[in-house]
Amino acid sequence: MSTTNSKPRRAAAVPSSRLSRMASLTGLAGRVAGNLVTESGKHWLRGERPVMSELLLSRKNLEQVADKLARMRGAAMKLGQLISMDSGALLPPELAAVLERLRDDAVIMPAAQLVGVLEANWGEDWDQRLAQFSFEPVAAASIGQVHKGRTHAGRALAIKIQYPGVRRSIDSDIDNVVSLLRLSGLLPRELEIDALVEEAKHQLRLETDYLHEQQQLLGYAEALVAFRHRDALALPGVDTELSTEQMLCMDFIDGVSLEHAAERQPDLQHHIPALLLELFFCELFQLRCVQTDPNPANYQYNLEQDRLVLLDFGAVRHFSTDFVHHYGRAICAATDRNADELAAALETLGFFSQRHDAANRQVVLEIFMEATEPLRTPGPYDFGQSDLAQRIHERGMAISSDPEAWHTPPADVLFLHRKMGGLFMLAARLGARVDVHAIFNHYREQL
């Protein structure tokens, strides 16, 4: 496992107790309110009537919210990432942009706090466990940061170390963040995200158990033998003796970011998205277990071995045979533009609520069919020139204009859409041309 990040990293202690984490959010709410009063006064002095929504979405408020969530890391930051990924079309664009920023934030633990985590997991003589340990992290994410180490036997390791207090504060963190966003007006009160919030809590409990992720990695590697392009992938092995619930020790595999790889070798801008999309369809329809986090930082590319490196397995999600059958039925119907068959399949999946009126139901079907455009387009689909994301966003706004009619799909569907949407966005960012039609048809024939 390896990662590169050119952004300078800030060091800031992670608040580790529930009280300190709650105080951080309470203080933030006070600052948001203070900014609101100050800006409102400026408008009145200029003889202008202040617009509350514009004041709440001021640059200063948004930056303070993003900065605080980044410093807290953990569930607070993860929820921001989930909301931006799954509900982006329903959020004010200013807030969506701030939450998007959280995916790439690079705040790290100071050395003293890092040593405390090492001692808590490996004992006071933790430094005897390894021949070498680098205090400068090679990556920092929402629930942990990664350091390079070397065993006495010479094995190079990527050691993922979880931030203190993250696991035991999941429920309170997420509840407090949702309350903050709603009270400040940054999250529309009428937007129903209860199901997403509960799923975020469940997902975080799994992702903060690194022994669980270790088992997911081992199981995923075993299942991946069935993938026809297995040799094009590199997965790290794990050191089961050194790993704990809060520290995951994996092989360090050299690699560069996907964008950097595409810059170095232009053909990779098409090859990488094609490989990831094929892996996704194999995961879903053949293996029935999908790594559902589409963050590009979860992948790297080893240029010497010409292999895609898979890094993160905390978000691997398993699906039942029945679910895969019905979802496959839905995606095939959408690809064929068969609205009746699609509606029946989505009903079976529990996609609609009783509150949906006929108009919104039709919009949902249209969005689903719109999203499968790359799957039904013969030949290479040009993601770089496509306006697919904009078209889906515009259709989504037709639903968000009446939030009472919106129904959050089942969690399994949300996570699949999150992954597929993320892969489409990556392909667009790289300017990829991919024959998704041919890739999908290969797996469709096996359904």
Please check the confidence at residue 240 and state whether its pLDDT lies above 70: yes
Model pTM above 0.85: no
What per-residue string of b and e applies to 248-272 under the rule 16 or more CB within 10 Å gives b? Answer: bbbbbbbbbbbbbbbeeeeebbbbb
β-pairing, 156-162 with 144-150? Answer: antiparallel
User: What is the predicted pLDDT for the residue at 351?
Assistant: 78
187 φ, ψ to 5°?
-115, 120
User: What is the predicted pLDDT for the residue at 47?
Assistant: 46
User: What is the predicted pLDDT for the residue at 238?
Assistant: 97
β-pairing, 247-251 with 233-234? Answer: unpaired
pLDDT digits (tens, 9 = 90+) for 319-340: 999 999 999 999 999 999 999 9
Residue 312 carries which side chain, given as an amino acid letter? D
pLDDT digits (tens, 9 = 90+) for 374-401: 999 999 999 999 999 888 877 766 655 5
> In the structure encoding, which two tokens stand for residue 267, read together?
């053909």
Task: Tell how far CA 370 is from the center of its chain.
Answer: 22
User: What is the predicted pLDDT for the residue at 48?
Assistant: 42
Please report the DSSP string for 278-316 in residue order.
HHHHHIIIII-EEE----GGGEEEETTTTEEEE---TTE
Please check the confidence at residue 52 and state whether its pLDDT lies above 50: no
Three-state secondary structure call for residue 69: helix
Q: Assign 137 a pLDDT band (cuts: 50, 70, 90).
A: very high
pLDDT over 70 percentage in the chain: 68
27 contact partners, CB below 8 Å, separation of at least 6: none
Q: Is 194 marked active-site?
A: no
Beta bridge partner(s), residue 299: 310
The residue annotated as part of the active site, out of 173, 209, 293, 412, is 293
β-pairing, 307-310 with 132-133? Answer: unpaired
227 φ, ψ to 5°?
-75, 130
Taking the alpha carbons at both ends of the chain, their separation in whole angstroms is 34
Q: Assign 45 a pLDDT band (cuts: 50, 70, 90).
A: very low
Q: Assign 109 a pLDDT band (cuts: 50, 70, 90).
A: confident
Please check the confidence at residue 279 and state whether its pLDDT lies above 80: yes
More confident residue, 120 or 139: 120
By the 10 Å C-beta count (0-12 exposed, 13-18 middle, 19+ buried), 194 is classed as exposed
Q: Assign 415 a pLDDT band (cuts: 50, 70, 90).
A: confident
More confident residue, 305 or 189: 305
pLDDT over 90 percentage in the chain: 50
